[in-house]
Amino acid sequence: MARLVPPGARELPALTALRLEVRAFLAEQVAAGAFVPHVDTWLTRWDRDFTRELGRRGWLGMVIPQRYGGQGRTFLERFVVTEELLVVGAPVAAHWIAERQIGPSLLRYGTEEQKQAFLPGISRGEVVFGIGMSEPDSGSDLASVRTRAERVDGGWRLTGTKVWTSGAHEADAFFALARSAPLDPAHRHAGLSQFIVDLRAPGVTIRPIISMGGDHHFNEVHLDGVLIPDDRVLGQVGEGWSQVTSELAHERSGPERVLSTFQLLAAAAQAMDDGRLPTDPGLGRHVARVAALHHMSFAVSTALENAEDADTAAAVVKVLGTTGEGDIADYVDTLTATGWALDEELDTLLHAAILQRPGFTLRGGTNEILRGVIARGLGLR
């Protein structure tokens, strides 16, 4: 079988030392009550103070060069830091998008001035970014975006609506994908461009979209003729599609596609040990899958660090990981009976996980789209 996923790699001692350093810091933070561990924190838990503290410790801007205020470290070093943050359920949403996507995109496509303007703030955890891709009529079919970018003197005017923009109400700026040339049905991926939008600029209106559990992390962002100066175009006009898709492997293969419900799994393990949940082999099954995905996700990060193509492998991680993190929520739910006194911690984690679960297999490319990507990797399309 053609290998869909690169072979496993060994975590060397320097990486493990970094892992243990981050782990020790986080254990202190939990003990001090600096945050309450939770599920799906990379989407739902904002804490700018915590984010800035990570910046002070050198755990943000990991792959940003030092001349732009970053740490100049590797994707693998970032990998172990993100794993440790996720497994303790730390509040990491404020820097997640910038750390994962915005920083690398700016490095690759940004002008020198843009790098100087944004990367130091991102690395300190002071500049918070969102990402504006989906629209009311554009979900999986991203090339169908209708937000228009019209050429004006000295820049562009953006008009349209972005939805599911996580944290827009807290963020300073976002990247918006917009159509800068009319749709050519024969070349649907042409004519798209990326813009760096100041979310406090005139013409930007942000409205909350309340999730079914009552949380507010999604937003609708209306852009009403928002003026984008020429120096806030990201990369090449008309190259938006290739710019967006070139970063997908990083977006899809990371530990956040596996570990969103890890705190619930850990609480369930404890509850079984304490006799508050029945001992059940399903726990071992889920732990095994998380462990295997930890190896697989690390292997994909290693390939990306070596600049190898990993689009199909990233899709494999995301299909398996997001399905599994949702299955953990459902699994723990099947072990619990209404009216049976659980501890409040497990209850809180379980309910949040169940309510967040539908999003796991939607965000970042639905699993149906990703199975198509995998089928293409197998030569079926």
Give the single-character DSSP code of 98: I
Q: Within 13 Å of residue 134, how many CA atoms lie on the same side as its CB?
A: 16
- The residue from 287, 333, 351, 362 that contacts other proteins (CB under 8 A) is 287
φ, ψ for residue 210, nearest 5 deg? -85, 130
Tell me the CA distances in angstroms from 268 to 23, 160, 237, 260, one per residue in order: 21, 44, 50, 15
Q: Say if CB 86 and CB 42 are below 8 A apart.
A: yes
Contact between 299 and other proteins by CB under 8 A: the answer reads: yes
User: Of the two residues 307 and 380, which places its CB atom closer to other proteins in the complex?
Assistant: 380
If DSSP states are collapsed to H, E and C, what string results for 110-143?
A: CCHHHHHHHHHHHHHCCCCEEEECCECCECCCHH
Provide the strand spans (E) within the chain. Answer: 129-132, 148-152, 155-163, 173-179, 192-198, 204-210, 216-229, 233-234
Residue 283 to residues 40, 61, 87, 357, Cα–Cα distance (Å)? 20, 36, 16, 18
Tell me, what amino acid is at 53? Answer: E
- Shortest CB 96 distance to other proteins, Å: 19
Q: For residue 195, what are its two tokens?
A: 């813009």
With CB under 8 A as the contact rule, the residue among 119, 133, 171, 283 that binds other proteins is: 283
Q: Given the complex with other proteins, which of 190 and 287 has the nearer CB atom?
A: 287
What residue type is 346 in one-letter code? L
Q: Report 139-178 residues binding other proteins (CB under 8 A).
A: none
Provide the residue count of the chain: 381
Work out how close the CB of 90 gets to other proteins at its nearest, in angstroms, rounded to a whole number: 13
Return the number of the residue (23 or 188) whose C-beta is nearest other proteins: 23
Least distance from other proteins to the Cβ atom of residue 334, Å: 15
Does the footprint of other proteins cover residue 330 (CB under 8 A)? Answer: no
196 beta partners: 175
Tokens found for residue 275 = 């006799």
C-beta of residue 258 within 8 angstroms of C-beta of residue 317 = yes
- The interface mask with other proteins, positions 1-40, x = CB under 8 A, is x--xx-xxxxxxx-xxx-x---------------------
Closer residue to other proteins, CB minimum distance, 269 or 362: 269
Angle at 98 between CA 24 and CA 163, to 5 degrees: 125
Please choose, out of 57-65, 221-229, 288-296, 352-360, the segment that lies near other proteins by the rule CB under 8 A.
288-296
Residue 337 is a binding residue for other proteins (CB under 8 A): no
Closest CB to other proteins among 16 and 144?
A: 16
What is the token pair recorded at 266?
A: 């850990």
* Subset of 247-276 contacting other proteins (CB under 8 A): 262, 265-267, 269-270, 272-273
Q: Which is nearer to other proteins, 63 or 299 (CB)?
A: 299
Q: Which amino acid is at 180?
A: S
By C-beta, is 103 or 326 nearer to other proteins? 326
Judged by CB under 8 A, does residue 92 bind other proteins?
A: no
CA nearest neighbour of 133 among 184, 99, 176: 176
Taking CB under 8 A as the criterion, the residue among 67, 108, 216, 285 binding other proteins is 285
Nearer to other proteins, 152 or 378 (CB): 378
Using the rule CB under 8 A, is 369 a contact of other proteins? no
- The footprint of other proteins on residues 185-224 (CB under 8 A) is none
Q: What is the total count of residues that contact other proteins (CB under 8 A)? A: 53
Residues linked to residue 138 through DSSP beta bridges, in sequence order: 135
Tell me how far, at minimum, the Cβ of 329 lies from other proteins, in Å: 16
Least Cα distance to 172 among 155, 192, 196, 193 occurs for 196
**Smallest distance from the beta carbon of 335 to other proteins, in angstroms?**
12
* Single residue of 244, 320, 335, 352 touching other proteins by CB under 8 A: 320
Q: Which residues bind other proteins (CB under 8 A)?
A: 1, 4-5, 7-13, 15-17, 19, 87, 262, 265-267, 269-270, 272-273, 279-285, 287-296, 299, 316, 319-320, 368, 371-372, 374-375, 378-381
